Structure 1
């Protein structure tokens, strides 16, 4: 699964939640420009954090070795 399939929904969810929180009665004094900056900053920061926490893609896992290398060592008595 590619990271972009996960990061875009994370950005959308964070932006929606930030919008809901900033539209409450507690934050009436925050201007619309500052709300937009807060929402955009939260979405960008959450996507960057998600990008690094997801690590490498799962599709890029190394294939299984073709032979059992543990039993083929020299001096194992066979």
Structure 2
């Protein structure tokens, strides 16, 4: 796992769709699982959504909590 990608999950927002404007780290699991079934978008966004889906699916979302604290002070 790339630390830069993890930081992006807590700072980058969803650019389109039902959850437009929501942090990638805050997207609901069922939405991430929908992408896993239907296909992730191309490029960096798709790669990050896939990473977030894997984190969520494996119950590892807690790993992002320390990063959220540092991103709010930037």
TM-score (norm 2): 0.26
User: Bigger radius of gyration, 1 or 2?
Assistant: 1
> Per chain length, whose mean CA-contact separation is higher, i.e. which structure has more relative contact order (CA < 8 Å, sep 6+)?
1
TM-score (norm 1): 0.25
